[in-house]
Structure 1
Amino acid sequence: MITALLLFWPALAALLVLLIKGQGAKKVAFIAALVEFALSLFALSSFDTQSGAMQHSLNLPWIESGIGFSVGMDGISLLMVLLTTFLVPLIVLSSYKHEYKNPNVFYALILFMQTGLIGVFVAMDAFLFYFMWEVALIPIYFIAAVWGGTDRIRITFKFFVYTIFGSLFMLAAFVYLYLQTPGTHSSDVNAFYQLTLSSESQSWIFWFLFIAFAIKMPVFPFHTWQPDTYTESPAQATMLLSGIMLKMGIYGVLRWLLPVVPYGVSQWDELVLILAIIGIVYASIIAIRQRDLKRLIAYSSIAHVGLIAAGIFTLNEQGLQGGVIQMLSHGINVVGLFFIIDIIFSRTNTREITSLGGITQNAKGLSIFFMILLLGSVALPLTNGFVGEFLLLSGVFQYNAWFGGVAGLTIILGAVYMLRMFQGVMFGTKSELTEHFTDLTFYEKAVLIPLVVMVFWIGLFPNTFLDISEPAVNNLLSIINR
């Protein structure tokens, strides 16, 4: 029952927010998001961390012919739900300094999107998963198209077409798998796991599903929509896209690709690793050349996701566990970095690194938070990024030492572009735009403090989260290797 409440509460709250005029909508949206976070903590408190099975399950008839409203959570799902419910209140709070037109619609769309995101992470039926996948897309499209930058219409249209294109491939694969189930047919995830498909069928199904998930993540060469969309979208949309929505693609690989078509994966895993590693190096080099702060972090996100994808497709415990923990760490770090960029832009009206400088002289607090999140992003030991990258690289090295060596360049290249960015923005001589730069406000600290706490919590006590996902990861590996 708690899973259904987690799913429907944001949608009900969104309907309430729509009725509220003026700036009161943001307060109600924030309170609703906090309630959702409390519900996720309650789900955690009653969760058996020793079991890899689905818990808090609910299975109701939805559509005739074997399609059900089937939801539940294992350790992987629960961590993604916790990440979503933790970040959404902070994303809402981060908007308090902005005065958006039609704020009730803006915040209602954020809450509607949260319903879609939660739905993706708890859906145990293929068509419910597909439905929630599309539900999450619609709100972010309108947020980016209505409140985005000057080129928002063209960019969001490109993003929408890319995602719909991938979704159609996923739907076609799900329909085929559904028709292969015996008897009256079923779209339940366990029915898909039990299918015995030919290697030829698994091969093309692999690509249909992989393309859908690779576009959302995104993995090279399916990434071209991402930098422009991140740059033109309003800050809160960028945080939702980077912090949570791209995790939908990674989660889809874990839940619906690897265990459903294991022979298809074994045919193409090496090619996927090559694409992912190319993406790591390519995106890192492009990030080094960026002068726009948002685009730099956008490309860094492609590099980080490339490493996650490479680790997952090694099909060993270290790679899978590293992928899960890095999804949490990346979500926290990237939301914090995009928020800091939004703070800088709100005070200077620019994101150009060459137009900034000397900010640390006036903003010691911002400098500290910025540096902590940056060090988490470059995987400094004792921060959250180190745990995930160590496990991921360990998994890739086990798969192929040469692949591991090239993928390990992410540590060096990441340090180059992130530290150069920090040096150009925060150190040096003040510019005209940063001469009167002010330090953090109360609301800005309220957003950044929880993020920094999580940077150190995951870095110092990673087993808090790894113990939750480990039984589910082992269960997943047993299904893949059956």
Structure 2
Amino acid sequence: MLTLLLILLPLVAGVITLLVGANLAKQVALVGALAELGLAIFVWSQFDPAAGVQFGFKYNWLASAGISFAAGIDGISLVLVLLTAFLTPLIILSTFSHTYKNSAAFYSLILFMSAALVGVFMATDAFVFYLFFEAALIPVYFLAAVWGGENRLKVTLKFFIYTMFGSLFMLVALIYLYYQTPGTHTSEITAFYNLQLSAKSQGFVFWAFFVAFAIKMPLFPFHTWQPDTYTESPTPATMLLSGIMLKMGVYGLIRLLLPIVPLGLESWGMLAVILSVIGIIYGSIIAIQQHDMKRLIAYSSFAHVGLMAAGVFAASPNGLQGAIIQMLAHGINVVGLFFVIDIILSRTKTRSLDQLGGITQVAPQLSVYFLIILLGSVALPLTNGFVGEFLLLSSVFAFNSWLGAIAGLTIILGSVYMLRLFQMSMFGPRSKWVEGFQDLTFNEKAVLLPLVIMVLWIGIYPNTFLSISEPAVNQLLQLVAK
């Protein structure tokens, strides 16, 4: 029942937000998101990592077809549910200094998207997974199309068509797997784990899943929708896209691709890792060349997700644990970075690094918060990014030493583009655009402080979260080994 409540609470809060009107919309949305966070923390307190899937529910949806509306939580999904519940109220709070036209619809869409994301991470039926996977696309499409930048309609249409097209491959694969289940067919994900498919069939399913999830993350060469969409979307939508939504693709690789088609992974895993490593280097090099701060972070996110995918395809305990903890760390860091950029944009009316400089002279508090989050993103030891990056690089190196060495360049390249971002915006002579720049407000510190605490908490005590997912990861790898 707790699982169902985690889905229903943001849905109900979104409906109430829509009904109360513009004057109270942001406050009601924040209360609803905080209630979801409280519920997620309660679920965490009651969760036993060694007990497998817990707090599940199952209702007949299409009973004659063996399809149920079913969900539950294991250690892998709990980490991502906590990430979603933690970031959503911070994303809402980050908007309090802005005024949005038709704000009731704006905040309700954020809550609806939160419900869909939680549904993806908890679904135990394949078609319910697909339902929420697609449902998460709709709110962010409208957020970007209605409240986005000048080229929003062209960019969001490309994003919608691109991601919908990719999801069709997954739907075809799920229907195929459904008809491979014996007797009265079922769409339970665990039933798909027990299928004995030929190597040829597994190759087909592997590529169907790979294309769907590679577009959603995105991975090279399926990434062309991402930079424009991140740049043109309003900052809260960009936070949702980068902080949480891209994790659906990585989660899909872990939950569906690895355990269902291990022979497909054996045949095509090397190519998948190569594409992931190409994405790391390509995204990093392009990020170094950017002058738009938001676009720079978009390409850095593309590079980070390439490393996560490489670790997943390496199919080792370090790889999966690294991907899970890095999803958590990346979500925290990228939301913090986009929020800092939004603060700078709101005060200077520019995101161009060529027009900025000297902010640290007038905003020392912003400088400190920005630096800590940035150091987490470049994986400084004792920050959250270091834990996942170390595990991921070790897993890729164990998979193939040459690919591991190339992937390891992310440490150098990431430091280059992130420190360049900080140096050009915060140091140097004070730009005319920075005149009158105000330091952080109370609301802004209320957003950044929890993020900074998590940067340090995960970096210093990573086992708090690694211990949640470890039993589930070991169990999943046993399925892959079979």
In structure 1, the residue corresponding to 2:60 is in which secondary structure? Answer: strand
Q: Alpha-carbon deviation of 1:133? A: 0.7
* Corresponding position of 2:162: 162
Shift of the alpha carbon at 1:436? 1.4
Corresponding residue SS for 1:196: coil
1:233 counterpart = 2:233: yes
Give the structure 2 partner of residue 279 of structure 1: 279
Give SS of 1:59's match.
Answer: strand
- Secondary structure at the aligned position of 1:433 is classed as helix
**Structure 1 residue runs of 4 or more that deviate by more than 6 Å after TM superposition:** none
Matched, 1:89 2:100: no
Instruction: Within 5 Å, give how 1:10-409 maps onto structure 2.
Output: 10-51=10-51, 53-64=52-63, 65-409=65-409
Q: How far apart, CA to CA, are the structure 2 residues paired with 1:14 and 1:435?
A: 39
Which consecutive unaligned segments of at least 5 residues does structure 1 have? none
AA of the residue aligned to 1:13: A
Q: Which amino acid aligns with 1:469?
A: S
Query: Residues 155-176 of structure 1, C-alpha deviation per residue, up to 9 Å, x if partnerless?
Result: 0000001110011111000000
Q: Distance in 2 between matches of 1:152 and 1:20?
A: 28
Partner of 2:4: 4
SS in structure 1 at match of 2:420: helix
Instruction: Report the alpha carbon displacement of residue 23 of structure 1 after superposing the two structures with TM.
Output: 3.1
Residue 131 of structure 1 deviates from its aligned partner by 0.5
List runs of 5+ in structure 2 lacking aligned partners.
none
Output the amino acid matched with 2:129: F
C-alpha separation in 2, matches of 1:23 and 1:194: 53
For 1:177 and 1:22, the matched residues in 2 are separated by: 46
Q: What are the Cα deviations for residues 414-462 of structure 1, in whole angstroms up to 9, with x where unaligned?
A: 0001001100000001111102111000000000000000000000000
SS across alignment from 1:50: helix
Instruction: Report the 3-state secondary structure (helix = DSSP H, G, I; strand = E; otherwise coil) of the residue aligned with 2:184.
Output: coil
- 1:20 CA displacement: 1.3
Shift of 1:150: 0.4
Distance 2:477 2:321 in 1: 11
In 1, the alpha carbon distance for the partners of 2:208 and 2:21 equals 44
Distance in structure 1 (CA, Å) of the matches to 2:112 and 2:290: 33
Report how many aligned residue pairs link the two structures. 481
Aligned mates of 1:168, 1:22 — CA distance in 2: 37
Contact between 2:49 and 2:472, CA under 8 Å: does it hold in 1? no
Cα separation, 1, equivalents of 2:193 and 2:344: 48
1:240: Cα distance to partner?
A: 0.1
The 2-side partners of 1:14 and 1:361 are apart by 41
Helix, strand or coil: the match of 1:338? helix
Determine what percentage of the aligned residue pairs are the same residue: 63
Aligned residue for 1:474? 474
**Cα distance, 1:21 vs structure 2:** 1.5
Q: Which moved more, 1:54-63 or 1:322-331?
A: 54-63
Q: TM-score, normalised by structure 1?
A: 0.99
Deviation at 1:309, TM superposition (A): 0.5
Give the drift of 1:22.
1.9
Paired with 1:134 and 1:231, the residues of 2 have a C-alpha distance of 22
Compute the displacement of 1:49 (Å). Answer: 2.1
Q: Shift of residue 232 of structure 1? A: 0.1
Q: Following the alignment from structure 2 to structure 1, what is the Cα–Cα distance between the partners of residues 230 and 79?
A: 24
Following the alignment from structure 1 to structure 2, what is the Cα–Cα distance between the partners of residues 421 and 291? 9
RMSD value, Cα: 0.6
In 2, Cα distance between equivalents of 1:133 and 1:283: 25
Question: Which residue identity is paired with 1:55?
Answer: Q
**Secondary structure in 2 aligned to 1:62?**
strand
SS at match of 1:71: strand
